[in-house]
Amino acid sequence: MNSKGVAKTPHYAGPISVMTVREVSAYLHVHPATIYKLLKRHQIPAFHVGSDWRFNIETIDSWRLGQDGGLKEKPRLNGQSGGNLVYARKP
């Protein structure tokens, strides 16, 4: 295939600051369906690009840290196998 006369589009090579549903679900270690539920309930910061959802990584980090506001600093082990952590709520 000949690419003569075709303008080359420069690609952004900097750090990624916007994620898709699949990327944010992997980043937060949850199923994509969980992200869609949070979107439906307006419980996670996001924006549309056409019909697709996008997430700013800095906003997601701030949102995630804000979710820990009512939790104690030290997690305790859940007694179940696999070492799952459960956060105890402040009284």
Number of domains in the chain: 1
Of all residues in the chain, what percent carry a pLDDT higher than 70? 58
Q: Which residue range forms the structural domain that includes residue 56?
A: 15-67
Inside any domain, residue 8: no
pTM, two decimals, is: 0.60
Nearest by Cα to 62 from 44, 85, 88: 44
Inside any domain, residue 24: yes
Tens-digit pLDDT profile for residues 55-76: 999 999 999 988 866 544 444 4
Higher pLDDT, 5 or 32: 32
| Distances 16 to 55, 69, 79 between C-alpha atoms, Å | 11, 27, 38
Q: What is the pLDDT of residue 53?
A: 95
What CATH code is carried by the domain that includes residue 31?
A: 1.10.10
Tens-digit pLDDT profile for residues 20-60: 999 999 999 999 999 999 999 999 999 999 999 999 999 99
